[in-house]
Structure 1
Amino acid sequence: MMQRSVDDLPRWILAVGPVFVLIGALVVLSVTAPFEDLSSAETASTVEIVWMVTIIGAIAGLAPVAIGMLWFPFIRDLDPRYLHAFMALAAGVLAFIAVEMSKEIVAYGATVASPLTAGAVTIVGVGGTFVTMHVASAWRQHEMASRHKSGLHIAYLVALALGLHSIGEGLGIGVAYVQGDATLVMLLVLAFVMHNVMEGPTIVAAVARETETPPLRHFAAMGIIAGAPVILGGWVGSFANAPLVAMLFYAIAIGAIVQVLLEVAELIRFDAEAVLSRTNTATFVGGFVLMFVLEDVLVDVVLEGWLVPV
């Protein structure tokens, strides 16, 4: 039904429509400044903290992922060559996220008393997750007894990997909230909205290759899997800001991303045989660079510019 309702819209509207929705959401956030007063955070009850962090997490996680998924109708009608390029762009986004989380692990590891413990947590998180997901994926392909590669299956794996990564974002929001730092919370939310809106098309890129549009419930489920963990991370950050916990979450996410990158490469190879074409390589690098701009410019430069003078 969703696909039929947008068939008659011009292509340019399908392409730029989500951008206008995103701009509108950012304007509403900037004008209303919903996190302006967090002075009562220190005396708030557990229920009040959980409720507020849930709202913040939904705005920073669920909403932008849903906005990004609005690009599905546009991606759906792309030529297979460009669809593969879009999947390569999604892989570039995931690769950048893995690199950034590796840096976070190193930073958290420096604050842990025992380097051996920090290393063990990282190895178990990355290796254990990768092996588990790889075995599960191999078993599933064997059970399918078919040459068909399921884009929906890959999309769910991408959503899972992004969801695990989103827990780390929630940790930062939760810590800033309980510290009563309204400016930091607001800027983190704005930055994560811009950052996470790219997760939507990253998820649906693999689904777009399917001959039939999956039921709407799958899009809702994938959006929740990818975006809702920001809320979980916020809860954890509000009550248990432990470096080893953060390291474990990041390590698990990295292991999941490595497996997803392999799945995406196999999916492209299944359709096109050549994974590293010029177009795919260019869009992979483009996805990596785009996330570098969104992450380092919006989060590092903007936050430092606003907060250091305070």
Structure 2
Amino acid sequence: MSRSFSSAIPRPLLAIGPLVVLLTVFGLLALTTPFGTIDAQGATTGEVLLTVTIIGAIAGIIPVAIGMLWFPFLRDLDPRYLHAFLALAAGVLAFIAIEMTRDVVAYTAAVDRTALAAALAVGGVGATFAVMYAASAWRQRTMASTEKSGLAIAYLVALALGLHSVGEGLGIGTAFVQGDSTLVAVLVLAFVLHNVMEGPTVVAAVARDAETPPVRHFAAMGALAGGPVIVGGWLGSLAQSALLAVLSFAIAIGAILQVLIEVGDLIRFDAGAVLTRANATTFVAGFVLMFLLEDVVGDLVVEGWLAPV
């Protein structure tokens, strides 16, 4: 969306519009169970994959797309506020990395081959970080201009979030094959709330670029960030494995660590200083927000306060 078009829309509408869409979708999911009675045992492989694909799209792609609707609002922000929002996105990523580290520890402790699981965890984090760091260094050396591309970093953010989303899909796929429709619905509700923050996290870096990229880039980044929920659902429904979960989470952690460095470099490139009062405040705010969305709201759902009908 161009600056001229977005500037014609009242700023409160730009800020509140995506929330209205989110609440509508969340309300529909909370009041009804769109998955019906799950009977994975009596379904063919094709039927299982199709249903998991639909569930994954609802839990992953749709909320990310809703979050990306905040792009016009971010586009018109003063640079210092945009940097603060980038710091908030970094706080979101940091929380996700810590949560996945807890998952890695839990899955590692649950398997018989603990040493193998630990090796996969360390190797997955290290190898992913090294590969992405090398790719980033190569990209910076070969760029034709001295400008730092927000679009390139946005793709890296989408990739990191997408790798993390595989773990979400693993949980959905496992619950599906167990025939637990309530758990599937609970996971979807939690992931919708969780993943809606991934949309602005992805597009925040693009908002500081002079030119708005074509719509195809937004579609590609949304699919890259939310689509892997579907892939994880396939894996979870067909090949349940704690070792696979450990490796998936480890790869995502390594990617997020590299992306955090990229976000810091982007802010430093524009402003010269990363650790300002506003950036520190919004970083903590992003971390706390994800804690509230994932842990507190998730607990309320599990305890029945927000349970779907």
Aligned twin of 1:232: 231
Q: Do the aligned partners of 2:64 and 2:226 also contact (CA within 8 Å) in 1?
A: yes
Q: Do the aligned partners of 1:18 and 1:70 also contact (CA within 8 Å) in 2?
A: yes
> Is residue 109 from structure 1 mapped to residue 112 from structure 2 by the alignment?
no
C-alpha separation in 1, matches of 2:3 and 2:50: 35
Q: Do the aligned partners of 1:105 and 1:251 also contact (CA within 8 Å) in 2?
A: yes
C-alpha separation in 2, matches of 1:299 and 1:2: 37
C-alpha separation in 1, matches of 2:70 and 2:84: 15
Instruction: State the 1:304 CA deviation.
Output: 4.1
Q: Deviations over 1:75-131 (max 9, x none)?
A: 000000000000000000000000000000000001111221011101110000000
> Is residue 288 from structure 1 mapped to residue 287 from structure 2 by the alignment?
yes
Q: How many residues of Structure 1 are paired with residues of Structure 2 in the alignment?
A: 307
C-alpha separation in 2, matches of 1:301 and 1:205: 30
Q: Counterpart of 2:14 in structure 1: which amino acid?
A: L
C-alpha separation in 1, matches of 2:21 and 2:3: 19
C-alpha separation in 2, matches of 1:169 and 1:214: 29
C-alpha separation in 1, matches of 2:306 and 2:77: 43
C-alpha separation in 1, matches of 2:280 and 2:306: 37
Aligned twin of 1:62: 61
Written as runs of structure 1 = structure 2, the 5 A alignment for 1:193-232 is: 193-232=192-231
Instruction: State the 1:298 CA deviation.
Output: 1.9
Q: Do the aligned partners of 2:3 and 2:75 also contact (CA within 8 Å) in 1?
A: no
Instruction: State the 1:301 CA deviation.
Output: 3.9
C-alpha separation in 2, matches of 1:191 and 1:2: 33
Gaps of 5+ in 1: none
Instruction: State the 1:306 CA deviation.
Output: 6.8
Written as runs of structure 1 = structure 2, the 5 A alignment for 1:1-310 is: 3-38=3-38, 40-305=39-304
Q: Do the aligned partners of 2:64 and 2:222 also contact (CA within 8 Å) in 1?
A: yes
TM-score (norm 2): 0.96
Q: Deviations over 1:225-256 (max 9, x none)?
A: 00000000000000111000000000000000
Q: Do the aligned partners of 2:3 and 2:76 also contact (CA within 8 Å) in 1?
A: no
Q: Do the aligned partners of 1:36 and 1:183 also contact (CA within 8 Å) in 2?
A: no
Question: Equivalent pairs: percent with the same residue?
Answer: 66
Q: Deviations over 1:121-163 (max 9, x none)?
A: 0111000000000001001100114321100000000000000
SS at match of 1:146: coil
Q: Counterpart of 1:8 in structure 2: which amino acid?
A: A
C-alpha separation in 2, matches of 1:33 and 1:74: 33
SS at match of 2:34: coil
C-alpha separation in 2, matches of 1:29 and 1:285: 30
C-alpha separation in 1, matches of 2:194 and 2:302: 14
CA change 1:233–1:306 in 2 (3 A) is farther
Instruction: State the 1:203 CA deviation.
Output: 0.3
Instruction: Supply the RMSD in Å over aligned alpha carbons.
Output: 1.5
Instruction: State the 1:7 CA deviation.
Output: 3.0
C-alpha separation in 1, matches of 2:36 and 2:200: 31
CA change 1:306–1:238 in 2 (3 A) is farther
Q: Deviations over 1:24-51 (max 9, x none)?
A: 111222233112411x221100000000
Q: Do the aligned partners of 2:97 and 2:256 also contact (CA within 8 Å) in 1?
A: yes
TM-score (norm 1): 0.96
C-alpha separation in 2, matches of 1:3 and 1:41: 48
